[in-house]
A = this chain, B = another copy of it.
Amino acid sequence: MSARDLALFTDLYELKMLQTYRLEGMAEAGVFDLYVRELPESRNYLLACGLDDALAWLESVRFRKSDLDYLATTGHFRDDFLKWLETFRFTGDVWAVPEGTPVFADEPLLEVIAPVGEGQLAETFLMNQVHFQTAVASKAARVVQAASGVPVVDFGMRRYHGTDAALKAARAFTVAGVASTSNVLAGKTYGIPVAGTMAHSFVQAFDDEMDAFRAFVRAYPDTVVLVDTYDTIEGVEKLVALAREMGPAFRVSGVRIDSGDLVELSRRSREILDAAGLERVGIFLSGGLDEHRVAEVVRSGVRVEGFGVGTRMGVPPDAPTLDIAYKLVEYGGEGRLKLSPGKPILPGRKQVYRAIGADGRAERDVVARRDEVHEGEPLLVEVMRGGERTAAGRESLADARERARRETARLPDPVRGIEPAEPPYPVVVSGPLLDVQRRVEERFAD
């Protein structure tokens, strides 16, 4: 579905609030922050992702006739409101942290400044996309880090949560440095390199494993061959036999091992291949991999040419969701917050400054009021003005990927690593911002 067909991708209450704001004549600007309240224990940082889809929705959201007809049937909306929705456009501004930037708790990923009802309506879609894409980009960055330069391939679309997740995960992984995907639709949609060879079922369909290898190699001479359908080591030996059989025509580029003790099987396979003079045949590993298993393989020192990672990267079991929030922080020029239990809201417009040390490494972040000036690089940039993207809001996927590579490299080593960083990366809230928070709190606690 294109963003244009997703006007109704919203919680019902957003529309009810929008109608009520209209009835009350409340059209002043609200400021909404989209941010993560707390990092999962197993994340030292998050990789911002999903902005492009968020902006696409804001730019193109339109209520179609069938949407309005449906809304009329719910009994929640007045005719004049539905009439008004016909010409609804998002007219606000957005400041955001560009995709591929490492971010931390309390730092706005997006700041939406718009007539309060418009900002409210955007909540559901913006959260849905930024939450998911940030969650899986952040996981993938860890896998890429653990792989130490060995290419990682996205193999998991079958177990990601629906079609949109599979598509957007492939996109987010690309930002995070994953090399390619098995997802053909993602290849078509985003121009991401696609990869993949054969399944166990292909081998099973032949009476003889060797015949399966022969058939696939006939069609794809430089393929990777899946060797673990019956017995991994025998599979590798059969491939060696095929190499002898084919002589100089043999161009197979690798073997894939998808089960068993991957380190031990890789070592033995490598020995067999090397002994047969097949040094150029690589080893490709898959099957239940995550950053920790990948790190274990890398630590073992065995030569590996690729990691196929899937389910645990696209549906991270250690942090399948993030504690993400979209909160009104200002209305009519005044700071806003809520006092119910949980982490307090920081009111008002903000900027995040990343202080860079003499060694070029990120040292700490300051979350400040918009009108403060601090040392360091400001992270929030204007990506949409009056409902239209600015140049900064039109980045390519390649730009985001390059930023992620560059900016994660600037993180302190323990923060970039896959073990919990101790101490965690320092994020401080500025004194002036804390002052505002205290004043607004006092006002609303009365």
For A326, what are the chain B residues with a Cβ–Cβ distance below 8 Å? 158, 201
Q: Is the CB of B128 within 8 A of A160?
A: yes
Q: Is the CB of B336 within 8 A of A199?
A: no
Report the stretch among A23-31, A275-283, A382-390 that lies at the interface. Answer: A23-31
Q: Is the CB of B445 within 8 A of A13?
A: no
For A328, what are the chain B residues with a Cβ–Cβ distance below 8 Å? 200-201, 204-205
Q: Is the CB of B23 within 8 A of A219?
A: yes
Interface presence of A327 (CB below 8 A)? yes
Q: Is the CB of B260 within 8 A of A341?
A: yes
* A230 contact from B15, B131, B311, B338, Cβ within 8 A: B338
Q: Is the CB of B127 within 8 A of A159?
A: yes
Interface presence of A355 (CB below 8 A)? no
**Which residues of chain A from 339 to 353 have a CB within 8 Å of any chain B CB?**
339-342
**Which residues of chain A from 25 to 58 have a CB within 8 Å of any chain B CB?**
26, 30, 32
Q: Is the CB of A8 within 8 A of B185?
A: yes
Interface presence of A320 (CB below 8 A)? yes
Q: Is the CB of B11 within 8 A of A200?
A: no
CB distance from A19 to the nearest CB of B (A): 6
* A182 contact from B6, B12, B158, B232, Cβ within 8 A: B12
Q: Which residue of B lies closest to A128 (CB)?
A: B158
For A162, what are the chain B residues with a Cβ–Cβ distance below 8 Å? 128-129, 132, 161-165, 167-168
Interface presence of A324 (CB below 8 A)? yes
Once the chains are docked, how many angstroms separate the CA of A249 from the CA of B10? 30
Contacts A12-B187, A12-B195, A184-B15; is A317 near B327 (CB within 8 Å)?
no
Report the stretch among A116-124, A236-244, A401-409, A419-427 that lies at the interface. Answer: A116-124
Q: Is the CB of B311 within 8 A of A317?
A: no
For A6, what are the chain B residues with a Cβ–Cβ distance below 8 Å? 163, 185
* A20 contact from B12, B24, B123, B202, Cβ within 8 A: B202
- Interface-central residue, A116, A123, A162, A337, by most chain B CB under 10 Å: A162
For A220, what are the chain B residues with a Cβ–Cβ distance below 8 Å? 16, 20, 76
Number of interface residues of A (CB under 8 A): 100
Once the chains are docked, how many angstroms separate the CA of A16 from the CA of B159? 20
For A127, what are the chain B residues with a Cβ–Cβ distance below 8 Å? 158-159
For A336, what are the chain B residues with a Cβ–Cβ distance below 8 Å? 201, 204-205
Q: Is the CB of A188 within 8 A of B8?
A: yes
**Which residues of chain A from 363 to 400 have a CB within 8 Å of any chain B CB?**
none
Interface presence of A166 (CB below 8 A)? yes
Q: Is the CB of B120 within 8 A of A163?
A: no
Interface presence of A88 (CB below 8 A)? no
Interface presence of A157 (CB below 8 A)? yes
For A322, what are the chain B residues with a Cβ–Cβ distance below 8 Å? 159
Q: Which residue of B lies closest to A10 (CB)?
A: B184
Once the chains are docked, how many angstroms separate the CA of A320 from the CA of B290? 15
For A199, what are the chain B residues with a Cβ–Cβ distance below 8 Å? 13-14, 17, 120, 123
CB distance from A439 to the nearest CB of B (A): 14
**Which residues of chain A from 163 to 205 have a CB within 8 Å of any chain B CB?**
163-168, 182-185, 187-188, 194-205
Q: Which 8 A-B pairs have the closest CB atoms?
A: A162-B164, A13-B196, A12-B196, A201-B328, A161-B161, A127-B158, A161-B165, A162-B165
| New contact pairs (14) apart from A11-B182, A14-B199, CB-CB < 8 Å | A12-B182, A12-B194, A13-B196, A16-B196, A19-B219, A21-B205, A24-B219, A67-B188, A70-B188, A116-B205, A159-B321, A162-B164, A200-B338, A204-B331
Q: What are 25 A-B pairs with beta-carbon distances under 8 A?
A: A9-B185, A11-B155, A13-B182, A13-B197, A16-B198, A17-B201, A23-B215, A120-B201, A123-B201, A128-B158, A129-B162, A132-B162, A158-B324, A159-B322, A160-B161, A161-B162, A162-B164, A200-B328, A201-B326, A201-B328, A201-B336, A204-B336, A204-B337, A205-B328, A205-B331
